[in-house]
Amino acid sequence: MSTEPFKNVILIPQTNQLLGLYTIIRDAQTKRPDFIFYSDRIIRLLVEEGLNQLPVTPKSVETATNQTFEGVSFLGKICGVSIVRAGESMEQGLRECCRSVRIGKILIQRDEETALPRLFYEKLPDDISERYVFLLDPMLATGGSAMMATDVLLKRGVKQDRIFFLNLICSKEGVDSYHEKFPDVKIVTGAVDECLDENKYLVPGLGDFGDRYYCI
């Protein structure tokens, strides 16, 4: 697992706890209930770090002891946008941190004739251009689906610097391709894998995240 920094990539702290969580979900012998449980723990950490990146403004409140506390308040509203289907696994983690958060969905699948990603469906909040957006997809391999989803957001008026792309594992190739097109989008991740294999799968990776989370 690489810890080499990249521009506009926020790698959450590589603690022993995090390494233990990734060891469990990367293990091919891990059963589905455990895969879900420990993936959800990592997703919660990613969401918390994404929230750390949002701008704030000073705010004073009166405490129950009649004292003034100088704190902060978030600037602006947020929403989550999941890339269906695997990205939907990250929605609950966002909801657990942000009550009543709006959720949008983008469905992108590979065209069997061209082998290229194709947009099939989008459903986004009407005011998404006024929000900070957490784009949700567990894996960033080649970046094709993520780039198409980001194009959808930009066409709806969302600015690059208001998009935070949250994923559990990414590749250097995927990060480079994605940031070549969208340099101002921040990627929040827990692991940067070594490379992609000849089939464009992450190495060492963990297999198909959506299949392991929903099916196996």
Examine the residue annotation and report whether 110 is marked as an active-site residue of this protein: yes
Query: Is position 184 annotated as part of the catalytic site?
Result: no
Among 27, 110, 111, 184, the active-site one is: 110
85 tagged catalytic? no
CA angle 191, 83, 129 (to 5 degrees): 105
Q: Yes or no: say if 145 and 136 are a contact pair by the CB < 8 Å rule.
A: no
Give SS3 for 24. Answer: helix
Catalytic residue (choose from 95, 102, 151, 208): 208
211 given a catalytic annotation: yes
- List CB contacts of 77: < 8 A, sequence separation 6 or more: 102, 127, 130, 131, 132
| Closest-CA residue to 174 (of 142, 149, 146, 145) | 142
Cβ neighbour number for residue 187 with a 10 Å cutoff = 26
- Separation in Å, CA 86 to CA 67, 109, 187, 209, 215: 46, 12, 17, 7, 11
Instruction: Check 3, 99, 114, 126 and give the catalytic one.
Output: 114
List the catalytic residue out of 34, 127, 176, 211. Answer: 211
Q: How far is CA 52 from CA 18, 22, 48, 210, in A?
A: 18, 22, 6, 27
Residues annotated as catalytic are 110, 114, 208, 211
